[in-house]
Structure 1
Amino acid sequence: MFVHPDINPVAFSLGPLAVHWYGLMYLLSFLLGWGMAIVRTRQPHIHWGREEVGDFLFYVVLGVVLGGRIGYVVS
């Protein structure tokens, strides 16, 4: 039999605003991905600039948020 820990999904609250753990993980993953992409653009065989990485990250975040909402509604 598996015992699952009872972890509070809310990391912290600021008044009426509750910040959840999954939101913090999304933020962390986007920031780490952005940083890793910026480091990769410094390599000579990569022909992307910082602006292109920022634009790509915008579309990735948009796709994750919209995809998550659409998946939630459909399921």
Structure 2
Amino acid sequence: LRFNSKEGECPQCHAKVNESPENRKESPIPWWGAILCILIGIGAWGGGAYWEIPGLDEAGRALVYIPLGSLFGLSLQR
């Protein structure tokens, strides 16, 4: 249900409207979990590059880029 954001309450149920009329999306992992995944990923990425282990290198990249997308993707307006 979308309605004018200037209205102070919902026209159907008359509940008070918060600051934003948009629904909030929540990440499946908390922000500190995403930071922990990124740090582990950096270690795996560096270790995979140092010891030339391609699978560990790719897993490290995934552990860095997937949580970054999750953290910053939720803050962008669509």
TM-score, structure 2 normalization: 0.35
Larger-Rg structure? 2
Per residue, is there more strand in 1 or in 2?
Answer: 1
Per residue, is there more helix in 1 or in 2?
Answer: 1
TM-score, structure 1 normalization: 0.36
Higher RCO (CA-CA < 8 Å; seq separation 6+): 2
